[in-house]
Structure 1
Amino acid sequence: MALTRRSFLVRTGAVGVASAIAPTLALGGEAQAATWRKRLTGADLDTNSRWQVAGTDLGIPYVLENGSIGYLFGDTFNTPWPEGPPLPNDWRSPVMLRSNVHPGAAGGVVFDSAARVAGNGRAPELMHNGHNGIGIDGLWEVTVIPNDGISFPETGRQLISYMSIENWNSAGPAGPHWRSRYAGLAYSDNGNDFVRTPLKWWNDATNTDPFQMWTMQRDGDWVYVFSVRAGRQDGPMMLRRVRWDRLFFPESYEGWGWNGSNLGWGRPCTPILTGRFGEPSVRRLADGTWVMSYLNCANGCIVTRTAAGPDQVWTAEKVQVTSWQEPGLYGGFIHPWSSRQPNDLHLMVSKWTRTLDGRSTAYHMSQFAGTA
């Protein structure tokens, strides 16, 4: 496996800026860092002894069709970090662990099961992965990385948005960026086995397509899709919506756009934000507040914004987790059971730290609690 995906954070984390564009963003707020609660994956934890999930990428929580929470991991290993030792180290992606424990409980998140496993045992991949070879569609694929998940109680179906990774080191103006070949959708009708559909949102020749890294949130009959470029590049964040039962029909997606005088649906997308975004995460809280989280690659911090709705004014960034608190951080994913109450915004934060000579020292996910 190529070990370049996250290593460029040190080189690129101080370049670029996450900024607002008129007229969508204008509100300010005081930043206050979240606090570390516990580490959730690692070779010394039961995620490894029970399911051989030790070193992990990401850890995206979403509501399953039965109301519990699934956590989606990208490149996963039975060793503390991707390079082992020993090798081979059972590289898998994506993998899902589950939990019905509220993140605000005294002991924090506790995983109780893994997808595609009855009880304890090795947690396998959820779907086909080319693993540095020819993928399911006959194209070269380094790996498959999940973007987000969503479920539909009406049908019992789950969907995962993912990226098919072409390489980890495409040239870019601020250093190498990973390149996705396309974003796709996979589905499961049994909550375990996911089928990759033929649908593809292709990246472009310049690796600047803004519809590669998705986060999805349902509200009523609509699913709202926020997306950015692959590779943590400078660029726009776009907003689309689609009826929940039309996600497999690209022509049904509506863009949110500016026509020169006002913003509205059913138009070509125009940016709702611009910046250098890491993986985005958006969730609608129980009180109706929308919360967005992402890595701001300008300052190396996990930041959040809030809004009254997906197409409403988003507040200024609020710093939740800094790179001083959690060196090597990159993913900050909002737990769906979070609330606006103090210290009840629960973030799943992934990290990968390495020495100057390339040896990993941490590759796991932790739980933080802050205030939206």
Structure 2
Amino acid sequence: MSESKTLRELGLSSRRTVLKGGLAAAAAVALPAGVARANPSRTPAAPLPLGPTATRIKNLTGPNETGQWGAALTDLGIPALCPNGTMLFVCGDTFEGPNVGDGQWTAPAGLRSSSADLGNLTIDGAVGGAHVQSMVPEPHTPVPPDKATTAIPSDAFTVGDTMYMHLMRGVIYDTHHTELWSSKDNGDTWTLACSWDDPGLHRGNFQQKTYAIGDNGTAYVFSGLFNRGPVSELLLHRVALDRLGDPAGYEPWGWDGSKWGWGIPPTTVATPRKWGEICFRAMGGKFAFSFFDESAAQIKLQVFPIPESDLFTTPEQVLIQGSDHDAGNDLRAPYGGWIVPGSTFDNFHAVISQWIYPTPDYRVIHYKFDGIAS
């Protein structure tokens, strides 16, 4: 892997720095005074000396792969295993093409692989049939005229026979509110389960959410600000699986000045940084957390035994490094980084997004990683 460089140093546009119709810039979020006191002796762990080896399996989306469904250019592609055994890839801003902003604009969009075999993931269908359609109503209303609303997914997952999708609604990087939706028909139709109407809740750090489903009837939720511009926090909550659609059921994990505990107002559980996309999963009796680190232009992975583990000192393994070329672990303009359901630490697969502006390199890529330290 190459030496770490930011996307700006590489002369590349990061995700959503440019989008037809204009973007909104959210105000910087100040960290609470208690954060510095909460972890007085903790220092970030250094990355492991040897990172996992990346193998690019294939482009999952692109004009040639998914153009026939009106999804030539796609964003995110969060993989979720459907109850019927197929794989759904939940995408954000998706365009008919041939350039970003051209043709039908769909968000969130769903693309399907009839096979969930990690070695045979291929898009062969779409939510909406022959032409992809938004999975929930989203008119992209221009308010004001130079800025349009959208619906960006931050996670998709399945519990029993029910699929869930978390959305951030509003002008990009200026979240108006967030929502959790559910589906009983493998993602074809969706019902609103609940919404969080205050985008400033927990200092704004409850906008982008990702869910790890434990084996104890509990989901553990990491959350942060949906804006990778400012340095922000990472929070931890837990919620019973039968209360996923009840905002009052989300219990925070925090530091009260002398101890950590559940029910204490939430405190950052990891080193504050410019958080991009985040993915939290239970795997192999442990927990895996992948995330895009904007400052380093890297997609990283942490592996730890319990959700309450010390992420300040847990080593960070570099999966993908932003670069000026595509080879091995190096990738131009990467973001995202979702763990594919069915992965193990010995057979680890992830979905990586790429957007090189203004060229139409806006796609979802399937990678395999060998040498994960677990």
- TM-score normalised to the size of structure 2? 0.79
Partner of residue 96, structure 1: 110
Residue 240 (structure 1) aligned to one of 237, 257, 269: 237
| Identity between Structure 1 and Structure 2 (%) | 27
Partner of residue 17, structure 2: 7
Structure 2: distance between partners of 1:303 and 1:223: 22
Q: How does 1:54-133 map to 2 (within 5 A)?
A: 54-84=72-102, 89-102=103-116, 104-105=118-119, 108-117=120-129, 121-133=130-142
Structure 1 residue 8: Cα displacement = 6.2
Partner of residue 157, structure 1: 162
Structure 1 residue 160: Cα displacement = 0.9
Distance 1:23 1:307, change over 3 A: farther
Cα-to-partner distance string for 1:176-210 (whole Å, 9 max, x where unaligned): xx2111111112222311133452242139x9500
Structure 1 stretches of 5 or more lacking a match? Answer: 13-19, 135-139, 169-177
Structure 1 residue 211: Cα displacement = 0.5
Structure 2: distance between partners of 1:78 and 1:348: 21
Query: Given the alignment of the two structures, is residue 185 of structure 1 paired with residue 180 of structure 2, yes or no?
Result: yes
- TM-score normalised to the size of structure 1? 0.80
- 95-104 or 254-263, larger mean C-alpha shift: 95-104
Letter in 2 for 1:318: Q
Letter in 1 for 2:67: N
Kept in 1, the 8 Å contact 2:292–2:335? The answer is yes
Structure 2 counterpart SS, 1:240: strand
Structure 1 residue 100: Cα displacement = 4.8
Kept in 2, the 8 Å contact 1:99–1:110? The answer is yes
Structure 1: distance between partners of 2:40 and 2:77: 33
Runs of 4+ in 1 over 4 A off after TM superposition: 20-28
Structure 1: distance between partners of 2:364 and 2:276: 16
Kept in 2, the 8 Å contact 1:349–1:365? The answer is yes
Kept in 2, the 8 Å contact 1:128–1:196? The answer is no
Structure 1 residue 110: Cα displacement = 1.2
Letter in 1 for 2:225: R
Query: Given the alignment of the two structures, is residue 48 of structure 1 paired with residue 51 of structure 2, yes or no?
Result: no
- 194-203 or 276-285, larger mean C-alpha shift: 194-203
Residue 152 (structure 2) aligned to one of 145, 151, 155: 145
Distance 1:281 1:92, change over 3 A: same
Partner of residue 57, structure 2: 37
Kept in 1, the 8 Å contact 2:269–2:310? The answer is no
Structure 2 counterpart SS, 1:44: helix
Kept in 1, the 8 Å contact 2:181–2:190? The answer is yes
Residue 231 (structure 1) aligned to one of 227, 234, 238: 227
Cα-to-partner distance string for 1:254-294 (whole Å, 9 max, x where unaligned): 10111222222122111111211101011112x21211111
Kept in 2, the 8 Å contact 1:116–1:193? The answer is no
Structure 1 residue 131: Cα displacement = 0.7
Structure 1 residue 7: Cα displacement = 2.3
Query: Given the alignment of the two structures, is residue 304 of structure 1 paired with residue 301 of structure 2, yes or no?
Result: yes
- 233-242 or 144-153, larger mean C-alpha shift: 144-153
Q: CA RMSD in A?
A: 2.7
Structure 2 counterpart SS, 1:236: coil
Partner of residue 210, structure 1: 205
Structure 1 counterpart SS, 2:139: coil
Structure 1 residue 96: Cα displacement = 1.2
Structure 1: distance between partners of 2:335 and 2:200: 24
Distance 1:8 1:269, change over 3 A: farther
Partner of residue 275, structure 2: 277
Structure 1 residue 229: Cα displacement = 0.2
Letter in 2 for 1:91: W
Query: Given the alignment of the two structures, is residue 326 of structure 1 paired with residue 331 of structure 2, yes or no?
Result: yes
Q: How does 1:258-273 map to 2 (within 5 A)?
A: 258-273=255-270
Kept in 2, the 8 Å contact 1:216–1:223? The answer is yes
Kept in 2, the 8 Å contact 1:42–1:80? The answer is no
Kept in 2, the 8 Å contact 1:24–1:272? The answer is no
Query: Given the alignment of the two structures, is residue 363 of structure 1 paired with residue 362 of structure 2, yes or no?
Result: yes
Structure 1: distance between partners of 2:148 and 2:306: 36
Cα-to-partner distance string for 1:145-201 (whole Å, 9 max, x where unaligned): 111112222xx32221100022x4xxxxxxxxx211111111222231113345224
Distance 1:337 1:133, change over 3 A: same
Partner of residue 173, structure 1: none
Structure 1 residue 212: Cα displacement = 0.6
Letter in 2 for 1:65: P
Structure 1 counterpart SS, 2:93: coil
Structure 2 stretches of 5 or more lacking a match? Answer: 1-12, 20-24, 26-35, 324-329
Structure 2: distance between partners of 1:4 and 1:215: 21
Structure 1 counterpart SS, 2:281: strand
Letter in 2 for 1:94: P
Structure 1 residue 348: Cα displacement = 0.7
Structure 1 residue 313: Cα displacement = 3.0
Structure 2 counterpart SS, 1:245: helix
Structure 1: distance between partners of 2:60 and 2:294: 24
Structure 2 counterpart SS, 1:248: coil
Partner of residue 15, structure 1: none
Structure 2 counterpart SS, 1:30: coil
Structure 2 counterpart SS, 1:251: helix
Kept in 1, the 8 Å contact 2:14–2:355? The answer is no
